[in-house]
Structure 1
Amino acid sequence: MVLDEIEQRRREVKLYMNTQSDDQRNGRWRSFPFTHPSTLDTIAMDLDLKNKVKSDLESFLKSKQYYHRLGRVWKRSYLLYGPSGTGKSSFVAAMANFLSYDVYDIDLWRVSDDSDLKMLLLQTKNKSVIVIEDLDRFMVEKSTALSFSGVLNFMDGIVNTCCGDERVMVFTMNSKDQIDPAILRPGRIDVHIYFPLCDFNSFKSLANSYLGLRDHKLFPQVEEVFQGGAKLSAAEIGEIMIANRTSPSRALKSVITAALQTNGESSVAGKYGRGSWESSSPWASAEDSGESSGCKESLVPVKEIRKLYGLLKLKSSNKIGPSDHESQLILR
């Protein structure tokens, strides 16, 4: 069993971060204990998609001889893309914990040029997850001498054949719409995983993890606001639940209020919907706790809350000038 093999080789996982190229007193990599608690079980993700990820990682672990027979480097590359706060970084940590691999987090802004990036890769070890976050932002804003071809060669160039085996490379982006297709082609990226904003299923997973709730009388209202187009990230919902963890009802009401404020705003979630997987490979109820007793709560229908919220917005907009109103639209 692959899972048994993973358990047998459990070891202290480390996080490596690259230093500036002119700061090499102790080498380019600084290591720290990797203690991130995220696991694939705690990630709020569509269950089928999560199972695909697990299956893909397990297949990779068993494929050393297969890769070598093909004359290919034993590595696997993933693109995680989606809006900020949707769990991409936590997912990287969960992958590393699942594999028991060290994590090499490469900050491209600290890379001086193409040769420097190659040397960083050569100094990494086997059984590692090599991560580059926000690659799309770097390609737009980059201020170093690192070239586009340097990034491509890092992803699948000859240096990859010289730096060892059993590596997982992970790249994160907010969007891949403006990325050169050369970066995304098979061989450089094996699997594309989209991380959407939350839907009701994701919300229920978060409510179970953060509040211990499998069901609640407010769940139908929460479901309605998500069906109505609510656009909240897992990070936003998580913060609300942490702040209101002693009062599940208050936490759910706060989620409903925050969700109603996002209804009608445009989002990439409308394009992609639930989390998705694209592979270029052939592998393919609990009672409220901690609340004070008092008068019985009445459950107001969401449509009434939405109507009230709309009236408040209209009243508010009548009190501000055109320039202020335009600013609000831009900020949204």
Structure 2
Amino acid sequence: MATRSRAYEEIKAYLSATCSGNGRHLRAETASGRDAAAVDKLVLSLVDGQKVSDQLFPGATVWWHAHADEPPSADTWHQQEKRLQLTIRYHERYHEFVKDNYLPRIRREGRELIVKGRQRKIFTNICSVYTGSTWSHALFEHSKTFATLAMDPARKKEIMDDLDKFKNGKDYYARVGKAWKRGYLLYGPPRTGKSSMIAAMANHLDYDIYDIELTSVHSNAELRKLLIETTPKSIILIEDIDCSLDLTGARKNQKPAAEDTGNRLTLSGLLNVIDGLWSCWGEERIFVFTTNHVKKLDPALIRPGRMDKHIEMGYCCIEGFKSLAKMYLDVDAHRLFDAVGELLREVEMTIANVAEHLTPKSSEDNPDSCLETLLNALDEAAAKKKANGGNEHDVQGDEQ
């Protein structure tokens, strides 16, 4: 089948790790771990027609049989994979033990093996109509972490603690009767590190990312279908949400459409999947919305319970600058730090622009020359601001 069941993948992972030694014919596949050693590793798995045994407990054995059936329909437009199946055989006296103890245990161990050895992915709903798949993906190999994120250390720790509390909160969410999900709103001007924050969150949590392009979603039903096919331990991302739908706070002034067949994506449909009954379709998922204009968003979209934590991604501050200087120039202190700090209090410059000025451009560049370049850019921005009567927007417009 085109999409293998989670149970199949979990049991396959367990059998490959624990029972492959007693199989006669096995398939060797490249390991999918993210560490360097995984490049040279091979994982042994069952091939069609192969049988392996596993022990329930001393003296009791089960047999697993791997086989592949032809797809039920000969569709020439969509290429279909064979239906991959695993069949288990055991003595009937062990039926209750297999059902209540053995199968839940090996699925749990299989899930742990998958999480430990998997390569994280970033998914998009923009894909070819000929694939028959809702999502297409690529490997997620972004190197940004909280250690390399230019931000005030106290704010950084607050965000990391919040993420850790969520990740370890399964019992808490079950106890209070809430869906195991959380919403984060990242807002601020362009080039202030919103995308870097998302990458750092994904790396910190070890989650996949599902990047939803809302302009490619044509109805509420299609949005629900997309979200149902996401997996646990994932970030559901909608970037620039203010540009994706009519989500401004002006709904009261809008006249209802003369005819609404329901065959379209609406704000109500989006709210239902992030905070209504449809928000309970899975567990351990984080919604992240980004926007450059938070005041334009409908208050209903960003209230607690939907976007639980609001994170402002502002212009570069002194602590952010010091982090960048350490990362790009490997300096903790410098005679120009005070001058740069004074100008950063006066003018607004994005994280991306500060990083660009600190980046060595040739082998002759050094901390002195790079900091001088940044200082000159800040002096120029301050002069433009003064010439414009303190109008910061004009300064930023020229800079960006």
TM superposition shift of 1:9? 3.9
TM superposition shift of 1:206? 0.5
Distance in 1 between residues matched to 2:242 and 2:372, nearest whole Å: 36
Aligned to 2:122: 15
Aligned residue for 1:213, secondary structure, equals coil
Question: TM-score normalised to the size of structure 2?
Answer: 0.61
1:99 to 200, 205, 210: 205
With 197-206 and 212-221 compared, the bigger mean Cα shift is at 212-221
Contact 1:9 1:100 in 2 (8 A): no
Amino acid at match of 1:87: G
Distance in 2 between residues matched to 1:329 and 1:42, nearest whole Å: 28
Residues 199-233 of structure 1: CA deviation (Å, up to 9, x unaligned): 22211110111111111222222122113x12111
Residues 1:257 and 2:383 are matched in the alignment:
no
Question: TM-score normalised to the size of structure 1?
Answer: 0.73
Contact 2:348 2:396 in 1 (8 A): no
Amino acid at match of 2:125: N
Task: Identify if the C-alpha distance between structure 1 residues 83 and 178 changes in structure 2 by more than 3 Å, giving closer, same or farther.
Answer: same
Aligned to 1:224: 342
TM superposition shift of 1:250? 2.1
Instruction: Please list every run of 5 or more consecutive structure 1 residues that lacks an aligned counterpart in the other structure.
Output: 267-305, 314-327
TM superposition shift of 1:26? 4.1
Contact 2:232 2:284 in 1 (8 A): yes
Aligned to 2:186: 80
Aligned residue for 1:41, secondary structure, equals helix
TM superposition shift of 1:124? 0.2
Contact 1:14 1:31 in 2 (8 A): yes
TM superposition shift of 1:44? 0.8
Task: Identify if the C-alpha distance between structure 1 residues 82 and 141 changes in structure 2 by more than 3 Å, giving closer, same or farther.
Answer: same
TM superposition shift of 1:264? 7.6
TM superposition shift of 1:331? 5.3
Aligned to 1:238: 355
Amino acid at match of 2:185: L
TM superposition shift of 1:73? 0.9
Give the length in aligned residue pairs.
265
Distance in 2 between residues matched to 1:24 and 1:114, nearest whole Å: 22
TM superposition shift of 1:95? 0.7
Contact 1:230 1:260 in 2 (8 A): no
Task: Identify if the C-alpha distance between structure 1 residues 137 and 259 changes in structure 2 by more than 3 Å, giving closer, same or farther.
Answer: farther
Identity, in percent, stands at: 38
TM superposition shift of 1:122? 0.6
Distance in 2 between residues matched to 1:26 and 1:47, nearest whole Å: 45
Aligned residue for 2:133, secondary structure, equals coil
Aligned to 1:318: none
Amino acid at match of 1:151: L
- Higher-Rg structure is 2
Distance in 2 between residues matched to 1:135 and 1:198, nearest whole Å: 23
The 5 Å alignment of 1:132-281 reads 132-140=238-246, 145-162=264-281, 164-227=282-345, 229-244=346-361, 246-263=365-382
Task: Identify if the C-alpha distance between structure 1 residues 147 and 256 changes in structure 2 by more than 3 Å, giving closer, same or farther.
Answer: same
Distance in 2 between residues matched to 1:41 and 1:329, nearest whole Å: 31
TM superposition shift of 1:247? 2.5
Structure with more relative contact order (C-alpha pairs < 8 Å, separation 6 or more): 1
Instruction: Please list every run of 5 or more consecutive structure 2 residues that lacks an aligned counterpart in the other structure.
Output: 1-111, 249-262, 389-393
Contact 1:79 1:170 in 2 (8 A): yes
TM superposition shift of 1:263? 2.9
Amino acid at match of 1:91: M
Residues 64-114 of structure 1: CA deviation (Å, up to 9, x unaligned): 122122221101111111111111111111111111111111111211121
TM superposition shift of 1:29? 0.7
